[in-house]
Amino acid sequence: MKTIVMTGAAGGVATMLRPLLRNRYTLVLSDRSAEPADLADGERWVTADLTDRPSLDALMTGADGLIHLGGQSVEADWETVNAANIQGYHNILDAARAAGTGRVIFASSNHACGFYPRTRRIGIDEAVRPDGLYGVSKAFGEALGSLYADKFGMRIMSIRIGNIAERPADHRRLSIWMHPEDLAALITIGLEHPDIHHAIVYGASHNERAWWDNATAAALGYVPRHSAEDHAAFALAEQAKIGPNAVGDLFQGGTFCADGFDGDLDRTLKARLPRP
């Protein structure tokens, strides 16, 4: 069994993924927190901080792959995002390179392109349009993955994750939702597919209201098992409790776009960014 390091292992997404991956891989779980009480057979815990390069070098020793879920998971001030998501990802990715780790899964985010209107269907070739500093850090991570694939021969999958949960929680998530089993399947492709260089894919289940063209993932063999429409009644009922958001409801990034918004709403909606 290949040895896979999973950072951010104390978080919610990792907690959902662990039972789905530990029968296929030997998991080395890591976070800043102390060792949890629920480790299973095939799991080992290493406490490490993304800002501490020596601890990351030790963490990555002997690893065949890295699932990087660690870092700041929501919008925050620049110092926090920079330390955890920009410097932190560079630290762990370069530690993986130094250790000879060949495969990396980077948990990017839909917030790297959150300022696209909900009326637009986008693929991976459109320019990034981050909706906050958190989204900027994820766009950086994708660029860093491209560099390390090109320059150092690593094989990296950057997954623009929508929302990982057992079911979509509101109207927006009917378009971006991903069941944990589908995420585990996509991660497995990233860790094992022979033809990956640097692949950017969307982390979404089968969502009939999707805003994203996930052809790259499909070409790699990804076939989601779960459908958001199976939970539409629940999601729409929950949405009715939330109420409208004058800015957030217009953009794919939702309330991340609305937070602190002081721009030209009409121009932002109509803007057509050139392809990179």
Tens-of-pLDDT digits for all 276 residues of the chain? 999 999 999 999 999 999 999 999 999 999 999 999 999 999 999 999 999 999 999 999 999 999 999 999 999 999 999 999 999 999 999 999 999 999 999 999 999 999 999 999 999 999 999 999 999 999 999 999 999 999 999 999 999 999 999 999 999 999 999 999 999 999 999 999 999 999 999 999 999 999 999 999 999 999 999 999 999 999 999 999 999 999 999 999 999 999 999 999 999 999 988 777
Q: What is the pLDDT of residue 227?
A: 98
126 inside domain: yes
Q: Give the burial string for 150-172 (b: 16+ CB within 10 Å, else e).
A: eeeebbbbbbbbbbbbebbbbbb
Q: Where are the beta strands (DSSP E) in the chain?
A: 3-7, 26-31, 43-47, 65-68, 103-109, 155-161, 163-164, 177-178, 198-203
Q: What is the DSSP string of 223-249?
A: ----BGGGGHHHHHHHHHHH---TTGG
Both structure tokens of 257: 């776009």
pLDDT digits (tens, 9 = 90+) for 115-139: 999 999 999 999 999 999 999 999 9
Site of tokens 């999707």? 210
The confidence score (pLDDT) of residue 193 equals: 98
Domain holding 42: CATH number? 3.40.50.720
**Torsion of Cα atoms, 98 then 101 then 105 then 111, to 10°:** 0
DSSP letter string over 11-32? SHHHHHHHHHHTTTSEEEEEES
Does the residue 264 lie in any domain? yes
What three-state secondary structure class fits 162? coil
Ramachandran class of 222: left when φ > 0, alpha when ψ lies in -120 to 50, beta otherwise: beta
Q: Answer yes or no: is 127 within a domain.
A: yes
Burial class (CB in 10 A: 0-12, 13-18, 19+), 1: exposed
* 275 is a domain residue: no
Catalytic residue among 134, 148, 202, 222: 134
Q: Is residue 246 part of a domain?
A: yes
Q: Is residue 195 part of a domain?
A: yes
The domain total for the chain is 1
Range of the domain at 18: 3-270
In a domain, 129, yes or no: yes
Residue 204 lies in a domain: yes
* pLDDT recorded at residue 276: 72
Indicate if 134 belongs to the active site.
yes
Which among 62, 57, 3 has a CA at the least distance from the CA of 29?
Answer: 3
